[in-house]
Amino acid sequence: MATPNNLTVDSYGIVDVSRGLVVLFVPHFRSPRWFIVQLGDAFDDVVFNVGGTKAAMPGAYLITGPHFTGRVPGEMTQVSMRTNIGFVAVRIAVAGSADLPDAVNEQRGFGLVPLHEYLVEGSRTRPSTTARSAFPNLVHPKTCRCSTESAQR
């Protein structure tokens, strides 16, 4: 999992595919620049990387959960997670303060949207108006009424 630093511009998102599939759109950059997108599941396991030491790999990535059996539309690449909840972390290299505006501009080309919106609007989709998923309530371990076995998982 990526963590913040002072050499990259970072973006993070949580995905929930229990009520619908999600598309990650990775743009073509205007000039060569290192970046990485890490997609992971609720176990904090990175299940797929886009960019990094690989080629840039722009395009649409369909994020699916463990029970998906449908067809992947068009030219999308399927990224299957073991859980319905996951994360997306984007890191884009910045070559000093003068480069920051260009890096942020490249960052704006990424998108994370529900599949049904992407199929209508494509990469032009703006932030979703879809109802947000409620984040699970956090429970302090000392007040959790869970068995020792489930607490150790």
CATH architecture of the domain formed by 8-129? Sandwich (2.60)
Model confidence, pTM: 0.76
Q: What is the per-residue pLDDT across 22-60, written as a single tens digit (0 to 9) for each? A: 999 999 988 888 999 999 999 888 999 998 877 778 999
- In angstroms, the CA 87 to CA 100 distance is 24
Q: Which two tokens stand for residue 130?
A: 């879809």
Helix (H, G, I), strand (E, B), or coil: what is residue 126? coil
Whole-number percent of the chain with pLDDT over 90: 54
Q: What is the per-residue pLDDT across 102-149, written as a single tens digit (0 to 9) for each? A: 999 999 999 999 998 888 877 555 544 444 555 555 555 555 554 444
- Helical (H) or strand (E) element with 100: helix 100-107
- In angstroms, the CA 7 to CA 84 distance is 31
Strand order in the sheet with 22-26: 77-80, 59-64, 22-26, 111-114
